Amino acid sequence: MASPVQAASASAAPAPSAGAEAAAPAAPGRMRWAILALLFASTVLNYVDRQTLSILAPMVQKDLGMDDIGYAQVVQFFLIAYTIAYLLAGWLTDRLGTRLALALFVGWWSLANMATGLVRSAGALGGARAMLGLGEAGNYTAGPKAISEHFPPQERGFAFGTYTAGAMVGATIAPPLIGWLALTQGWRAAFVVTGALGFVWLAAWLAIYPRGKVGPTVTAEPTLWRAILRERPLWGFALSRMLADPVWYFYLFWFPKYLSDERGLNLATIAATAWIVYLAADLGSIGGGVFSGRLIRRGIDPARSRLIGLAVAAVLAPVGMAISTGPAIPLTFAIAAAVAFAHLVFQINLSTLVVDLYPTRVVATVFGIVAAGSGLGGIFSTQLVGRLAQSGHYDQVFLLMGMLHPLAALVAWLSLRSQPRSALRSPDQAD
């Protein structure tokens, strides 16, 4: 039986030939760094818009008469739409191209976030957040495709880490920004203002991103869905995301509520301190990509480098179980920061592994299917977390979350053990 490295290498590094997809972007230049900066900015906005509700949850719940189960249902609406959208967004990105697809996604979710500020009922809130989810998923199919088009393998980890760090920057600046807007202008204005920022980004994206085909030559023959769905590692990676990502959803959607409900912190205090957790996630995002990139430069092949990153994260993440004992607030934040750091190391390396293994022409479709596992994990976990939170059993939630990363890392490793040659590549094709 082939090792994970041998199997992945057989899939990821066939011999190139004339007319095949290029092994790396053709003549990468400075433009790729401007594109990376815009991807970073779109991800900042993505998480500011997403995080707005979790930060303002106590105010919104009070105004709309919602309990924690109702709040969990609203989060579920978002996650269900988000998961479904991944399957369509990946195909749409490969079909429309990165430039047009991401412009469509950002415009859609920005309007949805602005609409959230107009709702008058819990049902309308759920509908607005579902519309947000339909747009936000596209950011994470267009981004990998852009990275695959513009960055060679040794730079992809760093590019993925930088682009994904936008999520944590968004989550870091969201508490003080949204808290200030809500306390000075009202919670409704916070949604409208943060949503409107997306249209500023949209103008810059359309002005800067090159028109037409970029990166490797795209083959004329489309890849059939049945060929994609036969890829064994794809399902393993999706399952790995389904297991690991509920941890991040918990710290994103529920940790501010935990600090308020169980630890007695007010909105101003949470807004002033919660950024520490998301700053640690930033460090994990960039650091996780740099770490595996350096392993590649030392001669370790890309697949093994990413797996080592997953293993490091799986060892660190269970420290979050210690929060179940109710440690002092500073220590609680330190532990939560360590979990956020570990999760982003895990996510960056798993995501980059997908880009390493699959050709550019289908990478958004493949990534959409894998990322749908993330949404499924959120759907399955959110209702459980809501019920445990409603009954005051946050300690059980922290214990459960601490078990997930080791299991997810094992699944990712097993998915590569006997990986056959990818059916998505012709015998003479390289990417």
CA distances from 84 to 240, 374, 418 (A): 18, 11, 29
Select from 381, 419, 318 the least CA-distant residue to 76: 381
Please tell me the distance from the alpha carbon of residue 247 to that of residue 268, in angstroms, as a whole number: 25
- Go through 283-298 and write b for each residue having 16 or more CB atoms within 10 A of its CB, e for each that does not: bbbbbbbebbbebbee
Please tell me the distance from the alpha carbon of residue 173 to that of residue 168, in angstroms, as a whole number: 8
- pLDDT tens track, the chain, 431 positions: 333 333 333 333 333 333 333 334 434 567 888 899 999 999 999 989 988 888 888 889 888 988 878 888 898 888 889 888 988 888 888 888 889 999 999 999 999 999 999 999 888 999 999 999 999 999 988 988 888 888 887 788 788 888 888 877 887 788 788 889 988 888 999 999 999 999 999 999 999 888 765 544 444 445 567 777 778 888 899 999 999 999 988 887 788 888 888 888 887 777 677 778 878 888 898 888 889 888 988 888 888 888 999 999 999 999 999 999 989 998 999 999 999 999 999 998 998 888 788 887 788 888 888 888 888 888 888 778 888 887 788 889 999 999 999 999 999 998 887 555 455 553 334 44
- Go through 364-378 and write b for each residue having 16 or more CB atoms within 10 A of its CB, e for each that does not: bbbbbbbbbbbbbbb
Select from 413, 388, 172, 395 the least CA-distant residue to 307: 413
H/E element, 281: helix 275-297
